[in-house]
Structure 1
Amino acid sequence: MPVDRHDAFARVLHWSMAVLILAMLFVGVAMVSSMTLRPSLLMLHRPIGIALLVLVVVRSIHRLLRRAPELPRDLPRWQRTAAHASHIALYVLMFAMPLIGWAMVSAAGNPVVLWGDLHLPPIAPHDPAIYSALRAAHTWLARALFAVVLLHLAAALYHAWVRRDGVFRTMAPVPLGPRAENASAVARENSAGS
């Protein structure tokens, strides 16, 4: 039986991760821009990054165990391929960013402080050259993640406002009525008939 909507757990994971990822991108930019705010922002950035790593692991496992709704049959092949590729890119970047950040902090010789006395073990040797390479990688991957997030948002809005094909509804935080989808289906039938 086809699935017409992601389950509630997948939706909660999706939207909570979306908020955290956007927060992390803006916190990261602010950390680089303001030396005054940097220490307090770092205290926020590191635990949120580790939380995102845990959430992406949970989300990946959940995604492997649960079927996702199918894309509309009339969606062009290149758009299906682009959707699949962008999801792979999102998952890779969501895994890579916190791991590289953790390794970068380790290579700098600093602990990854979550809260209070709770520290994560280092995952890279203390080495300035490794730190420098990881910092550059973290910066470039953050830019790539921002670009992929913008593409993902653009695709979601395209499906919600232009195609009105129900794709957005599958991950919408609250159930949306079928009115917009029915109007879109009628419009497609009318254009096919003319």
Structure 2
Amino acid sequence: MRPVEHFPLFARILHWLMAAMILTMLFVGIVMVTTVGPAYHQLVDLHRPLGICILALALVRLVNRLLIRVPPLPDTLPPALRTAARLSHIVLYALMIALPLVGWGMLSAGAYPVAMWPGFALPPILPHDPALFALLRHLHTWLALILFGVVLVHLAAALMHGLLLRDDVLPSMTSGPPADARKKQDA
């Protein structure tokens, strides 16, 4: 069996930071659509800039993923699961980028500003068009539901690797290499 390889620290930080942000965003979105009054506006004020931050970090992650070699999947993993892992990561990246862009486009079409903080809003990326706003609103909802499902499958796969297969896939993203491995890398 080959030695355990780990994701670099930067990749692990991005992964876990984005995991927390995406889970927060999904739950804020769910609560937001069931809330009225001032609490709704507070949630929207959190939802918009958090979505743009997720978009920016997703782009950083994508570049990082393209430039940095990732640890290989275990040889013991069946080909179907290898393919599923690769496809699920492509879908995750696509959703992490598409969902905020669709949200930004939706708000642009609805003539709503994407306020990042008081006094600073992003420019619209689409013209004002109520019909387009309605279409993008439905698309945004469906993409969010799909992301929620993919996140649940991703979590289930991580737990399968960590608890059932015990094949070092989960530790590659949760911790750095053991001290003796770091010494060998430095030598």
TM > 0.5 between the two? yes
Cα distance, 1:110 vs. partner? 1.0
User: Aligned AA for 2:107?
Assistant: V
Matches within 5 A, 1:28-43: 28-36=29-37, 37-43=39-45
SS at match of 2:127: coil
Choose which of 107, 110, 116 in structure 1 pairs with 2:109: 107
Preserved CA contact (<8 Å) 1:2 1:69: no
Can you list the C-alpha shifts for 1:31-81, whole angstroms capped at 9, x where unaligned?
Answer: 100112210000000000000000000000011110000000010000000
Q: Distance in 2 between matches of 1:100 and 1:66?
A: 28
Choose which of 95, 98, 105 in structure 1 pairs with 2:97: 95
SS at match of 1:113: strand
Preserved CA contact (<8 Å) 2:114 2:122: yes
- Residue 13 of structure 1 aligns with which residue? 14
1:167 aligns with 2:169: yes
Larger relative contact order, structure 1 or 2 (CA cutoff 8 Å, min sep 6): 2
Preserved CA contact (<8 Å) 1:53 1:94: yes
SS at match of 1:9: helix
Choose which of 50, 54, 68 in structure 2 pairs with 1:48: 50
Where structure 2 has 5 or more consecutive residues not aligned to the other structure, the ranges are 179-187
RMSD value, Cα:
1.5
SS at match of 2:10: helix
Q: Distance in 2 between matches of 1:91 and 1:154?
A: 18
Where structure 1 has 5 or more consecutive residues not aligned to the other structure, the ranges are 178-194
Q: Give the structure-2-normalised TM-score.
A: 0.91
Preserved CA contact (<8 Å) 1:112 1:119: yes
User: Aligned AA for 1:147?
Assistant: G
Preserved CA contact (<8 Å) 1:17 1:52: yes
Matches within 5 A, 1:1-194: 4-36=5-37, 37-172=39-174, 174-175=175-176
Preserved CA contact (<8 Å) 2:7 2:172: yes
Q: Which runs of 4+ in 1 moved over 4 A?
A: none
Q: Distance in 1 between matches of 2:170 and 2:28?
A: 28
Cα distance, 1:2 vs. partner? 8.0
How many corresponding residue pairs? 176
